[in-house]
Amino acid sequence: MKRLLRILLLPCALVLLMGADNQEARFQNLGGKIMCTCSCEQMLLKCNHVGCPNSDRMRKELRAAVQNISSDDEVLNWFRKNWGVTAVVEPSRHGFELLAWILPVAGLGLGLLLVIFVVRSWKLRTAPVAPADAVLDPHLESLRQRAQRETEI
């Protein structure tokens, strides 16, 4: 029973440990999704533009938002609302921008369907029949068999 209790407690302890420096991890993670709006085209946490009019303020706002808002999506939406949609370099997971996330997955799914269709059509096709009068060169055939044996091609 004690062993079972320990096994159950271990994941709980791990979860608690994971939350210990969660705020800093969230700050770093979200900072990597927000772009500095001073037109330097750099990510907020990468902006090395001395005297940048925006990055210090944005970083402070991000730190405050990470402390006050629990959902990452809401933090990003807050930045979209206050600094413009181009401030966040990741499409939102709502509305029209959701399409950006769906399209690649849908493309892969359609591709997979296509592959299944191709494989099915190949499997259903009858194998080409060699002409009745085709004479196999025994020397060539022995070489082919040897090559297949040695290289598995």
Partner 1 sequence: MPLLGSFCLTFALALAAYSFVVGIIAAVRKDAAGFRLAETARRAGMASFVAVLFSAGALVYAAMTNDFSVAYVKEHSNRALPAAYKFAALWSGQEGSILFWCLLLSAYGFVLRLRHKVDQRLTAMASVILAGIQVFFLILVNFETRPFGVLPFAATDGNGLNPLLQYPEMVIHPPLLYLGYVGLAVPFAFGLAALIMRYPGEMWIQITRRWTMVAWLFLSIGIALGGHWAYNVLGWGGYWGWDPVENASLLPWLSTTAFLHSVMMQEKRGMMKVWNAWLVFFGFMLSILGTMLTRSGMVNSVHAFAQSNIGRWFAGDYGWIGTPWRSLPYAYPGFLEVIFAVCLWFYIRNKDHLKSENKLESLVSRESSFLFNNLVLLGACFAVLCGTLFPILSEWVRGYKITVGAPFFNTIMVPIGLFLVFLTAVGPLLAWRSTSFGSVWRAFAIPALISLVVEVILIVIWIRSGIKFWRDISQIYALLAFCLSTLVITTIASEFIRGGRVLKNKLKTNLVFAMYHLTRRNMRRYGGYVVHFGIVVLVVGVAGLAFNQEQEQEMAVGDKLQIGHYTLVGQEYTQDDNANYGSDAALLDVYKDGKFITRLNPERRVYKANGGQPNTIPAKWSTLREDLYVIYAGLNPDTGHPIIKAFVNPLVNWVWLGVLIVALGTGMALVPNTAQIAVRVPQAVAVAAMEKESMQPAGVGK
Q: Which position among 5, 8, 51, 71 is part of the footprint of partner 1 (CB under 8 A)?
A: 51
| Contact status: 134 vs partner 1 (CB under 8 A) | yes
- For 23, 30, 77, the CA distances from 97, given in Å and listed in that order, are 27, 18, 12
| Contact status: 71 vs partner 1 (CB under 8 A) | no
| Contact status: 129 vs partner 1 (CB under 8 A) | no
Taking the least distance from each CB to partner 1, the nearer of 8 and 104 is: 104
Residue 95 structure tokens: 């509305």
CA atoms of 37 and 40, how far apart (whole Å):
7
| Contact status: 42 vs partner 1 (CB under 8 A) | yes
Given a contact cutoff of 8 angstroms between Cβ atoms, the answer to whether 79 and 24 are in contact is: no
Q: Which position among 57, 85, 98, 145 is part of the footprint of partner 1 (CB under 8 A)?
A: 85
Phi/psi at 38 (5° precision): -85, 10
34 three-class SS = strand
| Contact status: 132 vs partner 1 (CB under 8 A) | no
Given a contact cutoff of 8 angstroms between Cβ atoms, the answer to whether 48 and 42 are in contact is: yes
Given a contact cutoff of 8 angstroms between Cβ atoms, the answer to whether 35 and 41 are in contact is: yes
- # residues near partner 1 by CB under 8 A: 54
Residue numbers at the binding site for partner 1 (CB under 8 A): 14, 17-18, 25, 32-33, 35, 41-43, 46, 48-51, 85-91, 96-97, 99-101, 103-104, 107-108, 111-112, 114-115, 118-119, 122-123, 125-128, 134-137, 139-140, 143, 150-153
